[in-house]
Structure 1
Amino acid sequence: RPDPLGASAAGVLAGRGGAQDAHLVLGALRETVRADGPDATLLWTLVDGAGRLGIACAAPVLRHVYRETASSHLRGSAARALAATDPSFGAGFAVECLWDCEESTREVAALHAATGDTRVVDRLRRLAADPAEEAEVQTAVRNRIDTEGTAV
């Protein structure tokens, strides 16, 4: 439903709905990006909902939001949703996210970036050693090192 009531309903389904509501959340996500662009307020809820519901076919739209939004916070939400929905996230956007300005986005990247890439290993080393880096990011890197035994 392309009106304020439909947008409100989509937000509720994104936040509280179940797997049976995934197609409605996906439809609202697509329509919101088409109609209102990558910085629409409703996207915050829909992007989070796509990740929460694990809507794999939302990945192309989430990638678009990640690339096109002006909001670093929405980019972080898109990264979290991509981590939950896109099997290629670890080798793709997660690598880019390691250099993001938002610590929560770097944290998601530290948890998911594929370590087969030497750029990733080098960046994880830098993040682990940087005294100015946020504690959550360093914890994510250290947990990754501990669980994978990676020589970071």
Structure 2
Amino acid sequence: MKQLHISLSGLFALILIVFLSSCSRINPQQEKADLTELLDEFLTNVDDPDMHNRLWAEDLIYTGSAGTRHGKDVIMDGMMDSESDTAESAGPAYSFDNLQVKIFGNTAALTFRLIAESPSESGVDTSYYLNSGFFEKRNGLWKAVVWQATRMAESSED
């Protein structure tokens, strides 16, 4: 019994060393920069199905500003439908500000204000959304597993 206890203690110590070693290799500043770059690339290429496939995890839970909840499959189906549309109207251009990124090992939380600028007859209509995303690093790539988009109240300050 004592032999088993020593073996289990040794195994536990080895697992702890491996875990602490992998945690110490995380560079939070680099991970924040990578996620900021990913968000910027996504919003710049929001009409690209490959970009959506890159960003969203297969098991994504997405809650949209209209109050609907769905997964990656619905987003990708919508991308395929929009590709076949022959409408020539320009969609909104997206950017963000007030980004906050918090790294928790191989997971991260993002919050930001999404800015949507749509062409209109009077120039440009601007809408704002408060977005939150929860990411997990999978096979070396950050993937959004939870996303929440809420239309920002006109009198609200971020």
Same fold (TM over 0.5): no
TM-score scaled to structure 2, two decimals?
Answer: 0.23
Give 1 or 2 for the bigger CA radius of gyration. Answer: 2
Query: Normalised by the size of structure 1, how large is the TM-score?
Result: 0.23
Give the structure with the higher percent helix. Answer: 1
Identify the structure with bigger relative contact order (alpha carbons < 8 Å, sequence gap 6+).
2
